[in-house]
Structure formats: C-alpha cells, structure tokens
Amino acid sequence: MLSLQKLTSRALLLAAVTPVAFAQPVFAQQAKMSENPFLQPYRTPHETVPFNLIKNEHYLPALKEAIVRGKKEIDAIVNNPAKPTFENTVVALERAGDDVNKVSAVLFNLNSSETSPELQGIVREASPLLTEYGNDISLNEKLFARVKAVYEQRDKLKLDGQDKMLLEKSYKGFARNGANLSEADKAKFREISKELSQLSLKFGENVLNETNEYELLITDEKDLAGLPEFAREAAKQTAKQKGKEGWLFTLQAPSYGPFMQYADNSELRKKLYLAFNSRGFQNNKNNNEQTIQRLVQLRYDRAKLLGYKTHADYMLEDRMAGSNDRVKEFLDEMLGHSKPVAERQLADLTNYAKSQGFKGQNLEMWDFGYYSEKLKKERYNLDDETLKPYFKLDNVLNGVFTVANKLYGLTFKENKDIPVYNSEVKAYDVFDENGKFLAVFYGDYHPRPGKRAGAWMNGIRSQEMLNGVDIRPHVVNVCNFTRPTETKPSLLTFNEVTTLFHEFGHGLHGMLTKGKYSSLSGTSVAWDFVELPSQVMENWCYEPEALKLFAKHYQTGETIPQELIDKIRASQNFLAGIGAMRQVKLGMIDMYWHSQQPTGESVADVEKKIDQKTSLIPVPAGVATSPAFSHVFAGGYSSGYYSYKWAEVLDADAFEAFKEKGIFNKEVADKFRRNVLEKGGSEKPMELYKKFRGREPSPQAMLRRSGLVL
C-alpha cells in the first residue's frame, strides 16, 4: 500500500491534511529555535533525517517557523513586479514550502509508524495549521491569476513534457482546491477542510486504539489445539512481555491471522473474529460510525461546492478510470467473472468442512480461514509451518535486493551511520549499476503499539532537480511481520513474503524516479496507476528462478526444493474467486459511500446492501468493514480502493512481457524502468503503459492468472 500520508504537491499540499484557524507563530526564545534540528542543515549521511536529535517539542515550533518562511516565498511570487512566466511563477511555486515539507514528512511518517498519545496530540494541532497554509495558497487570487496567465500562454511557451505536466497540474490544482469560488464559498471550503482533517485523524486513532486495547489471554493449553508451534511461541512471548502467564493473542496481523487459520476452538475463533471486525463499530469511545457519516457528507459538500456531482466524480477526474460510471462498470465486470467461481469454491470448501466434522449447514465467517487452511494442506500438502523455515526475514530481504539487482542493477548496503527512528529499523544506501548513489532505503518490519496495522511505503524526501543537482529520494517500507522469538528468527508466511515484495515495488517506484519536479516524481501518479509497480513485484515470489535465490532453510541452509515451489505455484489460485469477491466488495463499499448524495443510511444498512451482492457467507450482526476501513476514511483511497483490482489487470499484463522473454530479461526490465519506474507522474499513465507494452492492457492476463477464465 502507498502511504496514506503522502504529500503530493510541495506548494499546495493538495488534500493531504485539513484546516483550522491559522495561529501566527510567536517565539520568545530565538536561541531555542537555533537548536531545532529541523531548522538546521542536516549534517548526516545523504542529509537524512536526524531522528536521534528530534524530540516532540521540536515539531510545532519548527512547523510554525516553516510556514512563516513558506508564506514569505509565496508573497515573493505574488508581489514579483515582473510579468508571470513559467519560471518565476510555476517553478517558484513548486519550490516553495521546502521547510514545511521537511517537517511534515517526518511528523506524518512517525504518526503512522512510531506514534504515541503525545505525538497524536501534536498531529492534531499541526494538521489544521498545514491545511490552512495549503488553503492560503490555493485560495490566493493573485497567485492563481499569475498561474492562470502562464497557463493561458502555454501553447506559445517552449516547454518540455515535464514542464507542461507541471503547468497543467498546478493550474488544475488551484481549480480543484477552490480558487474559482466566491469569497463566501471559499470560507465554506476552509471550514469543510478543517473538519475533514480532524475527522480523518480521529478515525485512524480510534482504529489504532481498538487494535491495541484488545487481548485474548489463554491459560488452558488445550485451547491452543491446532495452533502450530510458531503461533504458540509468539503468543507465549507476548504474554511474557506484558507480565502475564499463558498465551496472549492480539488483533495484530501476525497474531490474529494464524489463530483464525489454525485454532481448533471455534468459539475462540468467533470471539477473536468479532473483536477484529467490530473495531470502530462498538458502543464506546472508539466508535467511528458518526465519523463516517460526517466524513461522507463533508466530502460530498466539498465536491458540490467545487462543481462536481459527487465526491467520486471529483476524485476520479484525473485518474485512469476517469469516471464514476467506469469504476462501477469495472467492479461489476470483476464481480461477474469472480462470483460463479467463488460460489463453486465455497461449495467445495463447505463439503470439505462437513467431511471434517463440521456440523452446521453453512460455514460462518470465523470458520472460513480455518477450513481453507485445512483444505489447502490436504490438497497441496502445503501450509505455513512447512514454508516458514525457508523464509527468514533477512533472507527474503536479501532476496528482494537480489531481484532488484538482476532487474535494475541496484545494490543495497546497510549504513549504520544513518539515524533511524527505532532500533528495529535498518537504513541502506542504494547504488545503481555504475556504483552511483541512488537513494536511501529504510526497512521497518515488525509490529509495535505505536505502529498502525498493515503495510505501506512512505516518502521521507522526494526526488527533484534543484539548481542542476539531482536530489535523490529517501523512502521507507513499513510492515507488521512475525517477530523473532526466543528460539527462532523472524520467519515469514508466504503471504508476508508477497507483502514485502509488494511494498518494495512501491519503494522502487520512489527510488528509481528521474525527474525535474518533486510533485511529479516517484509515486506522485494517478491513484489507479500507483499499485502497478508494487503488484507486479509480487509475481517474482512465484517464480522458481527467483525463489531459489533467497528461499533457504534457516537452520540447514537448504534451498527450497522444487517440490515445494511446485506446490506454491499450484496453490496460487486457491480460492482466488472468493479472494476476488472480497476485493470487489471493498471497492463497492467505498464507491457506495462516495458516488452518490449521502442519505444518512447507517453503516449496517449500507454494508447489508453490498453484502447481498458480494458476500457468500452471511455476515454476523455486530461487525462491519467501514468503521475500520482506514484506506478510505483515514487515508487517500476514498473512491480509489478499486485501484487494487484495476492494477491487477495492469500487473498481470505487464508481467506477461517478462514471462515472454525471461523474468530477469534486461531489455524488458530496462523498458519497464524507463517508461514506468523512472517517469513518476510526468506523463499520462496510459501513455506510459503503452510505451512499455506497446498497447493498452488486456484484462485477459489477470483473468487467466487468477483462474477466473479457462
């Protein structure tokens, strides 16, 4: 997943955060400001963030001072007596606010991966300041007039492709952020943005609280029946760390997932399932239902204010899909392909469960993972317990580095002189095939109480050309993988292996970028194109030629046998129809909330409508997806969750190009690098894809790979 906090424009901070009344900074002790690490040059390797020097008390003073500096840079553009030009207006605007980005990038990165109640309070205070700053720019009439003057002369200017794209995005950025509104409507826009900012933060905090607060302590060993040794050992260690006797299970993925897959005790699976799937949906301080209603209404109100029919129409205007109707058609098409397959697969699974002693007529939601794992084990003689010894985290990480080397000539060398924000984080210098420094890569792979669930890539510094110097990017991959235990290193499930490769694909998109402007570099692309580099990387996890590079038994050093690779490949489409239905459901929930005028329907009623189309197993009362759907309600995926399935079409079609000539074919890899990974958002995504593939993508490759067509 791409970072939910990524700032996509240096100057406008388009929709990254939202505003409150701006408080002018007043500093009584300038001496202290001189000690603030954010306001000094970074004297670290590659000017990396000096995490070892930054304290919570540095953020707000630095941010307020940075905003003052940024506003002065904007004033200089507005008051320039020279007539507007591309350089003195559009490029100057692109370069403005560097210090603001410097502070906010660190703040929002750590609020996702290393937060605390104190830091959350800082973010709640900082977000309105940032959004007000962004609105002061996007609603500045004189600034917009200068940008508009340049835009209207665009056909007469000698601009290259990147210049034209920057000009177009700058102009549209103003229009899409209220520049054409009346003064009264600008005031409304500010108030809407302010509240949206606060609500999104509140939503994410509630989900994190619910995740951290729940514990299932087991003291009777017979209740562990079915659980493999790795799950028992991890639970024992978690209990010990919290000063408890027994085995402690949580809602963190490395704990929750194995319990739902392996625990024989159906009542305990039910208990854990209900806890996980009722996050944000319980009658307590963390309830997100009213927050969702208000977010949806405000997003609709903002879209209407800006002249769009719905929030989805507003969000989809500049994406590959292009329209509300096209996304709905796509999801319906995917549903049509996947539902018949999913129905057959569920019937097969239900019959199997009954053969194993299941007494009910139909499977319950908490039975699905359990019997799926048993059927998979029986059908393919394959399970996590068999595979995990071959996927030591360090080996998998070295494996993805090796794949990147064979494809793109990259090398990764750990640099212990680079400060990190947690001792578990490792930092790497990245070099190209000629030994030239390319990027800094941070890897952060284990769950902590201050880290939200899931996996994502963040950018800490964007790539750009500044005064003829290529400023290289700093990126971080954040995941929540199985921790080492007292007797074993961190051993990954195969699903965790694919997740690592996925996020590393986002990382490559950030690290390999080559452009002039930060707001067009790396992952600053159309939202339904951004998952292509990440999802295409997952394909190498299924290829023998790649697996044998890194899948080594952690005790014996034995390379994974071909027999196990064959089983991994044979099981690749196991229950793929049901998995596709799940993704379609999530996309449809997102679109239902955002593609029409809000009616005040309850969360339960909305999801019941979607479940009638997409859920083959009855959803129990008291659970819902939306209240913990952080992609959509605390991040940047509103009206965009469909992009995961959309990108599957792209990645399957793209990987067939590699398969045709060899998965490490340099010619194909160079073409993908030049036309996708290096280009960022400097050209329209479909044009970039066609330059790589020679044609538009075909969905047939994805349907074949998923077993949804013969």
Q: Single out the residue of 597, 704, 549, 579 nearest to residue 645, CA to CA.
A: 579
Longest CA–CA span in the chain (Å) reads 83
Res. 17: pLDDT tops 80: no
Are 129 and 23 within 8 A, CB to CB? yes
Mean pLDDT, residues 579-594 taken together: 97
Q: Which residues contact 82 (CB under 8 A, 6 or more apart)?
A: 88
665 token code pair: 């074919």
Residues 619-639 as b or e (16 or more Cβ within 10 Å = b): beeebbbbbbbbbbbbbbbbb
pLDDT attached to residue 4: 38
pLDDT band at 438 (very low <50, low <70, confident <90, very high): very high
pLDDT band at 23 (very low <50, low <70, confident <90, very high): very low
pLDDT attached to residue 10: 40
Are 7 and 16 within 8 A, CB to CB? yes
Res. 473: pLDDT tops 60: yes
Q: Which CATH number fits domain 388-570+644-678: 1.10.10.10, 1.10.1370.40, 3.40.50.150, 3.40.50.300?
A: 1.10.1370.40
Domain boundaries, the chain: 214-277, 388-570+644-678
3-state secondary structure 462-492: CCEEECCEEECCEEEEECCCCCCCCCCCCEC
Q: Are strands 411-414 and 437-444 parallel, antiparallel or unpaired?
A: unpaired
pLDDT attached to residue 635: 86
Res. 28: pLDDT tops 80: no
| Catalytic residue of the set 464, 503, 543, 678 | 503
Mean pLDDT, residues 531-551 taken together: 98
pLDDT attached to residue 13: 37
Res. 14: pLDDT tops 70: no
Which residue's entry shows tokens 């402007």? 517
* pLDDT tens track for 350-391: 999 999 999 988 999 999 999 999 999 999 999 999 999 999
pLDDT attached to residue 361: 87
How much of the chain exceeds pLDDT 70, in percent?
Answer: 95
Which residue's entry shows tokens 């590959």? 320
Q: What is the DSSP string of 560-598?
A: PPHHHHHHHHHTTTTTHHHHHHHHHHHHHHHHHHHSS--
Which of 23-27, 32-36, 92-96 comes out lowest in average pLDDT?
A: 23-27
Res. 20: pLDDT tops 60: no
Q: Is 503 a catalytic residue?
A: yes
Q: How high is the mean pLDDT of the chain?
A: 94
* pLDDT tens track for 603-630: 999 999 999 999 999 999 999 999 999 9
Res. 281: pLDDT tops 50: yes
Better pLDDT: 28 or 102: 102
Q: Single out the residue of 334, 338, 335, 363 nearest to residue 348, CA to CA.
A: 363
* pLDDT tens track for 305-325: 999 999 999 999 999 999 999
Mean pLDDT, residues 184-200 taken together: 96
pLDDT band at 32 (very low <50, low <70, confident <90, very high): low
In DSSP terms, 345 is beta-bridged to none
pLDDT band at 664 (very low <50, low <70, confident <90, very high): very high
Mean pLDDT, residues 127-139 taken together: 96
Res. 173: pLDDT tops 80: yes
pLDDT attached to residue 26: 30
pLDDT attached to residue 538: 98
How much of the chain exceeds pLDDT 90, in percent?
Answer: 93
pLDDT attached to residue 710: 55
d(C-alpha 644, C-alpha 582), whole Å: 12
Q: Single out the residue of 408, 475, 449, 325 nearest to residue 674, CA to CA.
A: 408
